[in-house]
């Protein structure tokens, strides 16, 4: 069957879905005598030993049936297959979309740039692994023959947010498991205070820097590179012996004597999808070892495989995406909160902000036609329980209903804990998760309007035993695939980001001294 790219509001299944607005009350469902059965049945396996629970979502079997119809009419699995089999799905930039190939082969061999792309990605992963092993053994060392102890990634956007979030997610795990090799730091903001703070926190002679720029021309990244090279030179160190590059083979950073080594990516992996490429691979392999990065890829591959299943109850990313469309386009909810009850995931919501909003923050379809319905939601989040003492007030009693995505684990990463008032810290953390789910769903009646909670606020729960490299990979792939499926439903191109470019162009105009009018007036306010 030929693939047809149609706007959401032209689909008969969507019209049927619209008739189900408000059809299910979570308050009623989770207060019913058989609520425990619902919680058990609406819990489906993910990759990496995780599970996706949607019992507190505003869905029932009738809504799920129509969502399944929407999936089929939108040809979501066929479009995913087209993507991983190498069709040009990124129509805006006329490019393939191949981040799934960095962790496994889902379909046919994909040939581009004169070779098999899976082989290319595996080759680069092997080169990175060999390099990391040589650094850890001391075979690659500083000018004094001493081991490097710190790695610093220089990049911005997808070259920073994803890798930083993944590093922080695994840092304590690696220390506990004995796989921690090198401390990692990150420089991203062109604000000189960012680079200054990082440089002051490290031992320069024992630090290795990773410059990440696909094009080799990213202004903020090259500016920070110069900042770091200047610091190295002032310390009497040769920057070429302290810096590697992750870039494309056609960039000015490739095959360049100014770098100790260079590892390659291509135009088929967008920055926000690059954590499983060399962009994340270099820093994670240096920090934790290549075997840990391999486990991370294994978890992502498991979730990708599940994402090919046509049964929405056996495809957690697809189901999560479809429920999100129902919430955005039928229920009319404008935003989503991601709430990880794990300090290790402290920067995971920040990564998802870019992944989701840069991908699906579009108002025209794949062909440039204006869209008459809502697309990507505003996404935000913080780790629990911190968020409970911050923005949960609005979530519980504000005028907007905000769908929630909780993430929680039975065990912590370090094994450290203490028992106070008959329960451990970890149990208190878990108790807060379950309490919040029920509080949002069921609310609380009270004659005092200030203490009344309406409830019926939907949430999902991704849960597992412990956050590990494998479960982290599955978690990342889940959200990548969720965003992809939603983009297909909305008929937008989730793989370009023209909205990022305009500001860059105007910034160059300012720096060239050619600004005029209001732009010039604003530059004067900042003394540029």
Q: What angle do CA 130, 221, 472 make, to 5 degrees?
A: 50
Distances (CA, A) of 139 to 135, 209, 260: 6, 17, 13
Residues 458 and 56: beta-carbon distance below 8 Å: yes
Does residue 358 carry a catalytic annotation? Answer: yes
Spatial neighbors of 524 by CB under 8 A, at least 6 apart, are: none
Query: Is residue 389 flagged as an active site residue?
Result: yes
Which candidate in 255, 389, 427, 451 is catalytic? Answer: 389
Helix 290-306 and helix 278-288, axial crossing angle in degrees, nearest 10: 130
From the candidates 37, 175, 233, 504, which is the catalytic residue?
504
Length, in residues, of the chain: 528
What is the separation of C-alpha 143 from the centre of its chain, rounded to a whole number of angstroms?
37
Query: In 10 A of CB 16, how many CB atoms?
Result: 14
Q: Which value, to the nearest 10 degrees, does the dihedral of the CA atoms of residues 204, 265, 274, 3 take?
A: 170
Give Cβ neighbours of residue 480 (< 8 Å, ≥ 6 apart).
Answer: 99, 273, 355
Q: From residue 265, how far is each of 105, 146, 273, 281, 462 by CA, in Å?
A: 17, 30, 12, 11, 31
DSSP 181: -
Measured CA to CA, the distance from residue 364 to residue 492 in angstroms comes to: 7
> Is residue 319 reached through a cis peptide bond, with omega within 30 degrees of 0 on the bond before it?
no
Distance of CA 473 to the CA centre of its chain: 10
Give CA–CA dist 57/327, Å, rounded. 9
Q: What is the rounded CA–CA span in Å between residue 300 and residue 19?
A: 36
The answer to whether 242 touches 142, Cβ cutoff 8 Å, is: yes
234 is catalytic: no
Q: List the catalytic residue out of 124, 225, 327, 358.
A: 358
Catalytic machinery residues: 358, 389, 504
């Amino acid at each position: 069957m030929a693939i047809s790219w149609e706007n959401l509001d032209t689909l008969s299944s969507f019209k049927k879905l619209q008739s189900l607005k408000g059809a299910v009350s979570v308050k009623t469902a989770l207060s019913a005598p058989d609520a425990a059965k619902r919680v058990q049945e609406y819990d489906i396996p993910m990759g990496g030993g995780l599970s996706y629970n949607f019992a507190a979502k505003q869905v029932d079997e009738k809504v799920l049936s129509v969502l399944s119809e929407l999936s089929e009419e939108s040809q979501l699995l066929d479009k995913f297959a087209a993507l991983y089999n190498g069709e040009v799905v990124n129509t805006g930039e006329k490019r393939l979309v191949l981040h799934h190939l960095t962790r496994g082969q889902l379909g046919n061999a994909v040939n581009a740039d004169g070779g098999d792309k899976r082989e290319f990605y595996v080759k680069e992963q092997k080169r990175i692994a060999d390099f990391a092993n040589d650094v850890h053994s001391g075979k690659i060392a500083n000018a004094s023959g001493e081991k490097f102890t710190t790695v610093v990634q220089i990049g911005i956007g997808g070259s920073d947010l994803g890798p930083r979030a993944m590093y922080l997610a695994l840092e304590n795990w690696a220390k506990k498991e004995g796989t921690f090799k090198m401390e990692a730091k990150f420089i991203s903001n062109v604000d000189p205070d960012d680079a200054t703070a990082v440089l002051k926190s490290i031992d320069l002679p024992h630090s290795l820097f990773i410059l990440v720029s696909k094009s080799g021309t990213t202004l903020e990244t090259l500016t920070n590179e110069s900042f770091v090279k200047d610091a190295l030179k002032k310390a009497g160190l040769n920057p070429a012996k302290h810096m590697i590059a992750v870039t494309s083979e056609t960039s000015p950073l490739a095959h360049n004597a100014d770098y100790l080594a260079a590892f390659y990516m291509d135009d088929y992996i967008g920055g926000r999808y690059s954590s499983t490429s060399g962009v994340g691979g270099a820093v994670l392999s240096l920090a934790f070892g290549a075997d840990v990065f391999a486990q991370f890829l294994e978890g992502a591959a498991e979730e990708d495989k599940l994402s090919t299943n046509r049964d929405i109850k056996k495809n957690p990313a697809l189901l999560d995406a479809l429920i999100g469309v129902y919430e955005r386009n039928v229920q009319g909810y404008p935003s989503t909160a991601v709430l990880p009850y794990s300090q290790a995931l402290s920067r995971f919501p920040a990564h998802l902000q870019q992944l989701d909003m840069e991908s699906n923050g579009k108002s025209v379809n794949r062909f440039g036609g204006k869209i008459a319905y809502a697309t990507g939601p505003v996404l935000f989040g913080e780790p629990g329980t911190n968020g409970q003492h911050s923005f949960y007030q609005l979530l519980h009693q504000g005028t907007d209903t905000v769908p929630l995505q909780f993430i929680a684990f039975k065990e912590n990463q370090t094994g450290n804990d203490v028992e106070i008032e008959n329960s451990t810290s970890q149990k208190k953390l878990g108790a807060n998760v379950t309490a919040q789910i029920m509080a949002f769903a069921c609310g609380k009646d009270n004659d005092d309007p200030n203490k009344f909670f309406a409830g019926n606020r939907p949430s999902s729960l991704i849960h597992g035993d412990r956050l590990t490299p494998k479960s982290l990979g599955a978690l990342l792939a889940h959200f990548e695939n969720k965003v992809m499926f939603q983009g297909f439903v909305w008929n937008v191109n989730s793989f370009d980001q023209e909205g990022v470019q305009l500001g860059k162009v105007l910034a160059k105009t300012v720096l060239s001294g050619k600004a005029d009018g209001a732009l010039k007036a604003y530059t004067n306010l900042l003394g540029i």
